[in-house]
Amino acid sequence: MKITYLGQAGLLFETDRMKIMIDPYLSDSVGKIDPAKHRRVPVDEKLFDIRPDMMIFTHVHLDHYDPETVRRFITPETEMTVLCPRSVWDDVRKIGGGNNYVLFNRHTSWTEKGVRFTAVRAEHSDDHAIGVIIDDGDRKYYVTGDTLYNETVFADLPGDIYALFLPVNGVGNNMNMKDAARFAERAGAEKIVPLHTGMFDDLSADDFVCQDKVVPEIYQEIIL
């Protein structure tokens, strides 16, 4: 599995059969609403040449489900699978076309091209927010989406997570670095990838203290 960091919480997973994009934020939509949260890293326009086979949104907040970014990838002419919880599904399916808009609420599973996706609990201010387990048959990857540390989350998780991708910024109902480290230890993943830093703030993932940490570099492959 090749994994590329798209910035903020965005990720691109690639197998030999499909490209899976999760929560891409490739605009300055947040900054247009709140100038204090302007985008600090320029968008790599080459990313818009990618044609995902699947798009996953974990919740409705603008830095995860950004209509400006979404419409650069999903159009009435595309034919992709879109997995998203109710808070996103009601809006994104209005794009129409040949896309398959799958209501992907907690405990829902979807299998495509040999990869199984399972929606798990996230504790966030969007009541419909989810995390995602991606199982390629060899390893399991867990993308938490935005979440706080909450004991009820762990009941949804498998016991053999290879890589965990989680927020560490501590604002907007996300875990801070201390709680994210506790979360990572409890989840038991082999590799820990901190997200949600440096786009709107001066936080650095280098400051996240956690065993088996892998710090991602924006627009680069994450080497696990």
Per-residue pLDDT of the chain (224 residues; tens, 9 = 90+): 999 999 999 999 999 999 999 999 999 999 999 999 999 999 999 999 999 999 999 999 999 999 999 999 999 999 999 999 999 999 999 999 999 999 999 999 999 999 999 999 999 999 999 999 999 999 999 999 999 999 999 999 999 999 999 999 999 999 999 999 999 999 999 999 999 999 999 999 999 999 999 999 999 999 99
Q: Give whole-number Cα distances, 85 to 56, 66, 105, in Å.
A: 9, 15, 5
* Per-residue b or e along 11-41, where b marks 16 or more CB atoms closer than 10 Å to that residue's CB: bbbbbeebbbbbbbbbbbbbeeeeeebebee
Q: What is the pTM of this model?
A: 0.97
Cα separation, 27 vs 161, in Å, equals 31
Domains in the chain, CATH or no CATH each? 2-207 (3.60.15.10)
Cα separation, 2 vs 85, in Å, equals 25
Identify the pLDDT of residue 221.
98
Identify the pLDDT of residue 118.
98
C-alpha torsion angle, residues 46, 49, 53, 55 (rounded to 10)? 50
Identify the pLDDT of residue 29.
95
Identify the pLDDT of residue 102.
98
At 201, which amino acid appears? D
Identify the pLDDT of residue 191.
98
Q: Give whole-number Cα distances, 218 to 36, 37, 42, 47, 150, in Å.
A: 21, 18, 10, 12, 28
CB count within 10 Å of CB 65 equals 23
- Spell out the residues 6+ positions from residue 51 whose beta carbon is closer than 8 angstroms to its own: 19, 73, 78
Torsion angles phi and psi, residue 63, rounded to 5 = -85, 5
The SS3 assignment for 171 reads coil
Cα separation, 126 vs 182, in Å, equals 23
Identify the pLDDT of residue 213.
97
Beta-bridge partners for 203? none
